[in-house]
Amino acid sequence: SQQGEEDPQALSIQEGENATMNCSYKTSINNLQWYRQNSGRGLVHLILIRSNEREKHSGRLRVTLDTSKKSSSLLITASRAADTASYFCATGSSNTGKLIFGQGTTLQVKP
Amino acid sequence: DTEVTQTPKHLVMGMTNKKSLKCEQHMGHRAMYWYKQKAKKPPELMFVYSYEKLSINESVPSRFSPECPNSSLLNLHLHALQPEDSALYLCASSQGEGPETQYFGPGTRLLVL
């Protein structure tokens, strides 16, 4: 079963605005990862945050993790039309050794 | 080389056909994965080869059969598929076992008629 739930399911913003996506999960994790998928293509890894970390940055991306609330957020600042894609969170557990993907958020950035 | 390649990009097959999907990576990764993804859904794990040992998702039907000829190659053999098996099939690899960063190929778009 899928562990991660993301919201919103869909998000439409103007270029230059910030986009925030949220991910909630149910069981204990070792890490949480965010991936991007352009339409009909493979997934691209964006960022990994470990369970003992609270915040991580990579370029225009900022990820937070709150293990007490079992939730994470991905912030994309100063969005561009090229950021239009689906974004998935994936939780990693050393118990299973596998990644479990959330339902995804579809982001549209209008030029 | 940080690329995972998959062939073919597109495949159309009848329900009585036998076909194979191929995946290759040259990053020295020891774990490789097959995922199935339906439209507007997240990827679902089908199989994992980790250090040449196979781990199966019990819900995957036997008409899908993985093969790992060596640590760089992963095949998925398809036989007697159903129309509901039409999907994007994604291959991925990671450096080792465990929930590490995975590198995905571009996928094979499969249509079963």
E strands, A17-104, are 19-24, 31-37, 43-50, 55-58, 61-66, 71-76, 85-92, 99-101
Split at pLDDT 50, 70, 90, the class of A27 is confident
| CB A21 within 8 Å of CB A87 | yes
- pLDDT (mean) for A60-82: 97
Split at pLDDT 50, 70, 90, the class of A1 is very low
- pLDDT (mean) for A33-52: 95
113 residues of chain B, pLDDT tens digit each:
569 999 999 999 999 899 999 999 999 999 999 999 999 999 999 999 988 788 888 889 999 999 999 889 999 999 999 999 999 999 999 998 778 999 999 999 999 99
Q: Which residues does chain B have within 8 Å of residue A102's beta carbon, measured at their own beta carbons?
A: 42
| Nearest chain B residue to A38, by CA | B106
Q: Which residues are registered as beta bridge partners of B30?
A: none
Contact of B69 with chain A, judged by CB distance below 8 Å, is answered with no
So what's the pLDDT on residue A40? 82
Contact of A59 with chain B, judged by CB distance below 8 Å, is answered with no
